[in-house]
Amino acid sequence: MGGLTHTEQKAQLSFWAMLAAPLILGNDPRQMSNAELRILTAREVLDISQDSLGRQAVRVKKEGRISTWRKDLSSGAYALLLHNGGNAAAHVTVVWKDVFGSEIEQYEEEVPREPPCSNKHNDAACAGWAKSGECKKNAGYMSGACAASCGTCPPPLYEGRVATALVRDVWEAEYVGLHTARYEARNIDPHEARLVTVTFARSGGRTGNRAALEGLVEEERLQKLRRAAAPEPAANDAANDASGGHDAAQKGAESHGARAAAPVDGAASGRAVSDGSAAPAALPHVVQHRLHAQHEPPTMNACVLEHLDTLIVLCAGCAILTLGIGYVGLGRARRRGLWLCREVSASLLPDQGKISKMRARGADRPHAV
């Protein structure tokens, strides 16, 4: 897309999605690479672009070449875009209160200080030592052993009433966990746009969703473990194909006699001849069917089934249009027929006035006996 790097292509589509811009291709789709197709068909990115709320993103923060954009979604969640316009990788921290303000007060809950601030030794002893001036006399030891009494604890990341949100990386299509008070996006490459969705959690009550959000994270973790523990599909297919090929060869020899196995394609045959090795054995029927299904052009039935909904709508529209035209034509023909009937009747029947005069004259004449 326009000579951009892979990272810049993703950043461009991320901005289009956040700004609800029309998504129109200006290139030849037949010449696009697989990487470009994966970018343009990223489902979760397109979901943000086509969100029914239809709101555009707004920039809520800018520090140097780092900018933060926010977009409200119809689900009640939010989309955040963290763009690094600089020339070096950067870590970006988003504080929920700075970005969302009072909107998230309904999600705030009391949480302990992080990191905790406490004394490693007995509190009473640390308090006595601090009172006697040991925090200054023996600062190296006291700052670690009696940090709370000497006031040398590191500044808190958060404490008190703060909100917690579930963050999902949109491009990677995976959850990055529940984050309290803030979220830090690490190692954002130059010109990269990190796109995430944020769903705030609420504990307890009928409207509580924290347990459900934690369940989503746990379910995704278990799915990753199952995929990691599952055997490789390629290895399974190869084993099944080998066993299936052996059985098929035995059955073929028993029913039809021994036959020379044909190579899979001309290229394979040419390699076998040029290398001087034996021709490859015929693939099992299951594998041949898979290869055939991959390269076989779509049939008419398949096209009809794929576009059945569209065809039904078109046929219904044609039927309604035909009925409308017929109704209008029938009405006009009926009115035309009534007019013709009146004209014919007027031309064929005698004038009613003349008939009345003739009847009057006939009544005056004496009747013959």
Residue 127 three-state SS: helix
What proportions of the chain, in percent to the nearest 5, are helix, strand and coil?
50, 20, 30
Indicate the pTM of the whole model: 0.60
Q: Mean pLDDT over residues 101-117, rounded?
A: 93
Per-residue pLDDT tens for 230-246? 876 655 555 555 455 44
User: Predicted confidence band at 260 (pLDDT cuts at 50, 70, 90)?
Assistant: very low
* Residue 124 main-chain phi, psi, to 5 deg: -65, -40
Whether the predicted pLDDT of 48 surpasses 90: yes
Beta strands in the chain (DSSP E): 58-63, 66-72, 78-84, 90-95, 109-114, 158-162, 164-169, 174-180, 182-188, 193-200
Q: How far apart are CA 122 and CA 151, in angstroms?
A: 15
Under 8 Å CB-to-CB from 116, ≥6 apart: which residues? none
State residue 343's pLDDT score. Answer: 63
State residue 316's pLDDT score. Answer: 83
| DSSP secondary structure letter of residue 78 | E
Considering only CA atoms, which of 152, 149, 201 is closest in space to residue 175? Answer: 201
State residue 302's pLDDT score. Answer: 63
Q: How far apart are CA 192 and CA 7, in angstroms?
A: 6
Sequence spans of domains, the chain: 6-110+164-201, 116-155
Taking the C-alpha atoms of 304, 308, 312 and 313 in order, what is their torsion angle to the nearest 10 degrees?
-120
State residue 74's pLDDT score. Answer: 96
Give, rounded to a whole angstrom, the gap between the first and last alpha carbons of the chain.
115
User: Predicted confidence band at 362 (pLDDT cuts at 50, 70, 90)?
Assistant: low
Under 8 Å CB-to-CB from 5, ≥6 apart: which residues? 191
Q: How far apart are CA 159 and CA 149, in angstroms?
A: 19
Q: What is the mean pLDDT of the chain?
A: 79
Q: Mean pLDDT over residues 292-297, rounded?
A: 47
Which position has the higher pLDDT, 272 or 99?
A: 99
Which position has the higher pLDDT, 276 or 32?
A: 32
State residue 315's pLDDT score. Answer: 83
Residue with tokens 């290398």: 275
Considering only CA atoms, which of 154, 180, 157, 179 is closest in space to residue 169? Answer: 179
State residue 349's pLDDT score. Answer: 53
Residue 69 three-state SS: strand
Q: Mean pLDDT over residues 175-191, rounded?
A: 96
Considering only CA atoms, which of 158, 185, 200 is closest in space to residue 69? Answer: 185
Chain centroid offset of residue 23 CA:
14
Share of the chain above pLDDT 70, in %: 69
Beta strands in 126-281 (DSSP E): 158-162, 164-169, 174-180, 182-188, 193-200
Among the ranges given (26-30, 48-52, 151-155, 284-288), the one the predictor scored with the smallest mean pLDDT: 284-288
User: Predicted confidence band at 292 (pLDDT cuts at 50, 70, 90)?
Assistant: very low
The three-point CA angle 16-17-21 to 5° equals 50
Residue with tokens 């020339």: 87
State residue 60's pLDDT score. Answer: 97
User: Predicted confidence band at 37 (pLDDT cuts at 50, 70, 90)?
Assistant: very high
Superfamily of domain 6-110+164-201: Golgi alpha-mannosidase II (2.60.40.1180)
Residue 76 three-state SS: coil
Q: At what angle do helices 233-256 and 285-295 cross, to 10 degrees?
A: 120
User: Predicted confidence band at 204 (pLDDT cuts at 50, 70, 90)?
Assistant: confident
Whether the predicted pLDDT of 325 surpasses 50: yes
State residue 354's pLDDT score. Answer: 57
State residue 230's pLDDT score. Answer: 85
Retrieve residue 242's tokens. 């080998």
Per-residue pLDDT tens for 134-145? 899 898 888 889
Taking the C-alpha atoms of 331, 336, 341 and 342 in order, what is their torsion angle to the nearest 10 degrees?
110
Whether the predicted pLDDT of 295 surpasses 50: no
Q: Say how many C-beta atoms besides its own lie within 10 A of residue 114's C-beta.
A: 13
Per-residue pLDDT tens for 4-14? 899 999 999 99
Residue 190 three-state SS: coil
Strand pairing report for 78-84 and 90-95: unpaired
State residue 251's pLDDT score. Answer: 47
Q: Mean pLDDT over residues 339-357, rounded?
A: 58
User: Predicted confidence band at 339 (pLDDT cuts at 50, 70, 90)?
Assistant: low
State residue 59's pLDDT score. Answer: 97
State residue 305's pLDDT score. Answer: 65
State residue 32's pLDDT score. Answer: 87
State residue 274's pLDDT score. Answer: 38
